[in-house]
Amino acid sequence: MATIGHITTTFTAMSTAITTLDDQPAVSNPALQTSRWRKVAARWFVRLLSIALCFVLWEAASRGKWTVLGARFENVPAPSQVFDAAKELARSPKLTGHLKASLMRIFAGFSLAAVLAVASGMLIGRFRWAEDGLMPPFEILRPIPAVAWIPLAILLWPTPESSMIFITFIGAFFPILLNTVHGVEGIDRRLVQASLVLGTGRVALFREVILPGSLPAIVTGLTIGMGTAWFSLITAEMVSGQYGIGYFTWEAYTLQNYPDIVLGMILIGVLGMLSSGLIRIVGLRFMPWFKFGGNST
């Protein structure tokens, strides 16, 4: 088709123009390209140097038993001690037991929260009766931090395991719920109208329009919820756990095994980062259109 050909050519011409504009100085001037590389390398050098400097200061502070603004580094293990503790833990069978326990609780609590929060969030965002019927109790429960639930959770659930899963669930539920509601409410009404005039039924409207339309917000909610799930779980494990990374960290304190405290903290950070990253990657897999400009055209 002539017009399409025309449009495509214009597009190609435009993109060529943009690339040329952007690349021209670099191509015509190799010296400039080298200096650009140098700038990038310099920035990375500063970044790595900053981390290295932190370690050096930390090592010096613990070895020299400094007191900085009243904070005593006397009992703080040095990075080298933490590294030795990490090597030892990696060799011992203890590590997998703790990891398994924490990951299982996260998986159970988070999955439950994801299913319930996304389902109720979609109803609340779409129907006034659901908003009036569900939102008031949620609004009252929401500001209660997961930690404050711990005593009641212990009374409420028969085993420490189930109460810890419950605490994880509470931590993850509200961020997922609020983001889902926000996502559903943000769906362009014209898209709903367009689907209605194309003969969409009630169920299909949810499956084909409301769910994909709010998916970017849901994924954001899941990413945040994963962070709060870890936060809540670690607290719960410190109070009532028998295994798990939080328990490991607290146990290290009570046994005065100080390098393991810091090791536990680092493990928590890494696990939280990896699981949030996993959510984001899986989320993008389910939204192949997202990289072309989000949820708008």
Partner 1 sequence: MSDLFKPDEAAGIRLKQASLSFGEGANRLEALHQLELTIPAGEFVSVLGPSGCGKSTLIGAIAGLAKLSAGELLVNGSAVRAPGAERGVVFQHHTLFPWKTVFQNVEFGLRNRGVKKPERTASVREMLAHVGLEEFTHHYPAQLSGGMQQRVNLARALVNRPKVLLMDEPFAALDAQTRLNMQELLLALWSERRMTVLFVTHDVDEALFLADRVVVLSRRPAEIRSEVVVELPRPRTTSVLTEPRFSSLKRHCLELLRNESRRSIRPPPGDAQASPEELVEAVTEQA
Instruction: Kindly list the residues in this chain that would bind partner 1 in the complex (CB under 8 A).
Output: 1, 3-4, 7, 11, 188-201, 204, 208-209, 212-213, 215, 287-289, 292-297
Find the farthest-apart pair of alpha carbons in the chain and give their distance in angstroms, rounded: 79
**286 three-class SS:** coil
The C-alpha atoms of residue 222 and residue 116 are separated, in whole angstroms, by 12
Give the whole-angstrom CA distance, residue 36 versus residue 28: 14
Smallest gap, in angstroms, from Cβ of residue 194 to partner 1?
4
Q: How far is the CB of 164 from partner 1 (least distance, A)?
A: 37
Minimum distance from residue 290 beta carbon to partner 1 (Å): 8
Which pair of structure tokens corresponds to residue 171?
A: 């931590």
Report the alpha-carbon distance of residue 192 to residue 184 in Å, rounded.
11
Nearer Cβ to partner 1 (55/286):
286
67-68 and 71-72 beta bridge pairing: antiparallel
| 91/291 with CB nearer partner 1 | 291
Q: Looking at beta carbons only, is 28 or 297 nearer to partner 1? A: 297
Say how many Å lie between the first and final Cα of the chain, rounded.
Answer: 24
The C-alpha atoms of residue 177 and residue 170 are separated, in whole angstroms, by 11
* Least distance CB 130 / partner 1 (angstroms): 18
Taking the least distance from each CB to partner 1, the nearer of 131 and 208 is 208
Half-sphere exposure of 89 (CA within 13 A, CB side): 23
For residue 19, the Cα-to-chain-centroid distance in whole angstroms is 35
d(CA 195, CA 198): 5
Cβ–Cβ under 8 Å, residues 77 and 259: yes
CB-based contact 217:180 (threshold 8 Å): yes
Angstrom distance (rounded) from CA 153 to CA 173: 15
Least separation in angstroms between residue 292's CB and partner 1 is 4
Nearer to partner 1, 9 or 24 (CB): 9
Which of 70, 288 has the CB closer to partner 1?
288
| Spatial separation of the C-alpha atoms in residues 273 and 262, rounded to whole Å | 17
Tell me the closest approach of the beta carbon of residue 122 to partner 1, in angstroms.
15
Q: What's the closest the beta carbon of residue 204 comes to partner 1, in angstroms?
A: 6
For partner 1, the closer CB: 145 or 212: 212
Quick one: 125 or 213, whose CB is closer to partner 1? 213
Give me the least distance between CB of 241 and partner 1, in Å please.
41
